[in-house]
Amino acid sequence: MESNNKLIDIKNLQVYFPINEGILIQRHRGDCKAVDDISFNISKGETLGLVGESGCGKSTTGRAILQLIRPTAGHVYFKGEDLTKSNNKELRKKRREMQIVFQDPYASLNPRASIGEILSEPIEVHKICKSKSEKNEYIKELMSMVGLAPGFIARYPHEFSGGQRQRIVIARALAVKPEFIVCDEPVSALDVSIQAQIINLLCDLQSKFFLTYLFIAHDLSVVRHMSNRIAVMYLGKLVEIADDEELYHHAQHPYSLALLSSVPLANPKEEKLRKRIVLEGDVPSPTNPPIGCRFSTRCWRVTDICREVSPELKDIGGGHFVACYHL
């Protein structure tokens, strides 16, 4: 996982949410371990795909990197600076360099503000433009950049389709000229045909502005198209990290193999012959995760050591990291 060109470097990141009971007198019952001691890095200009089931901690990881959620423990280094030690004033300056595209484009837009007002706000906060005329021209340029007509500037979010709204959200993120963008399932709420347009737009923008992405998704086919490397997450833990083609053709962790077996194949004959891996049981609660390997309750390779000691991510060659005792 080492890189000489790291933009983001995560060390032993933990995000625990306290669980309390009682109204007048609250008692601490325990913690929901949403993200539990994970480490990885993202190089400049790279897209790291983060995949896993719903509730595994993907979105929490993305928000903790941006300090939208303060980590319980661990370190988040951005260009060598530890964001976990920065105060709110210092983080405000960093917001220009780090942005996020949320899953639901309608919920992340102010319904009472026009598109011009929505795009104006980050420009004014970070003093991107020197004059009103320059700002107006910049907004029109942003809209054209994401495939929207500048004439839509006075319209409101409810007047746009889901795909158009997501383009507005992307334009807002680009307005402050960031280096790093967290894409938090940016296409999961869109129709399949529109998904392809947004993915192609994100790829084009990355090439044009040398952006770095953390691309969070549960659709493995989308992640494969977008990512240079892929990290697989299960119940708050990273279980495998590898280059995209390496993971798709030579996945090693049982959970990664199960995820890949659920991706439909274009060739009907291959799809018919392929053996599907169906996992038994339910995902354990993050408030009381299994001792040892988090996947041990559903794994067909499980042995005693899996239930006793949590495996560490180990490099099996070529930058392919796996957290499993049975390789």
* pLDDT tens sequence across 155-169: 999 999 999 999 999
> Does residue 7 have a pLDDT over 60?
yes
Q: What is the pLDDT of residues 181-239, one digit of tens each?
A: 999 999 988 888 899 999 999 999 999 999 999 999 988 888 988 999 999 999 999 99
Amino acid identity at 44: K
Q: Determine if residue 175 is left, alpha or beta; phi over 0 gives left, psi from -120 to 50 gives alpha, anything else beta.
A: alpha
- Residue 68 is predicted with a pLDDT of 95
Tell me the average pLDDT across 92-114: 92
Whole-Å CA distances, 111 to 108, 152, 170: 9, 15, 17
Answer yes or no: pTM beyond 0.75. yes
Tokens of 126: 């970070």
C-beta atoms surrounding 230 within 10 Å: 27
Q: What is the pLDDT of residues 20-51, one digit of tens each?
A: 887 777 888 889 999 999 999 999 999 999 99
Alpha-carbon distance of 175 to 196, in angstroms, equals 23
Nearest to 244 by CA among 261, 254, 256: 256
Domains of the chain: 6-97+178-322 (3.40.50.300)
Residues 126 and 176 sit within 8 Å (Cβ to Cβ):
yes
| Reported confidence tier of residue 274, pLDDT bands at 50, 70, 90 | confident
* Location of structure tokens 């837009």: 109
* Location of structure tokens 């408030």: 287
Tokens of 82: 């530890």
Alpha-carbon distance of 45 to 214, in angstroms, equals 11
Residues 38 and 9 sit within 8 Å (Cβ to Cβ):
no
In this structure, of 71-85, 233-247, 268-282, 294-308, the range with the lowest mean pLDDT score is 268-282
Tokens of 209: 């502005």
**Roughly what angle, to the nearest 10 degrees, separates helices 162-174 and 192-209?**
20
Residues 253 and 323 sit within 8 Å (Cβ to Cβ):
yes
Whole-Å CA distances, 294 to 14, 234, 311: 15, 7, 9
Beta-sheet pairing, 47-51 with 212-217: parallel
- Residue 41 is predicted with a pLDDT of 96
Tokens of 70: 């303060």
- Residue 1 is predicted with a pLDDT of 46
Tokens of 203: 């790829």
215 forms bridges with which residues in the sheet? 49, 183
Residues 255 and 270 sit within 8 Å (Cβ to Cβ):
no
Amino acid identity at 94: K
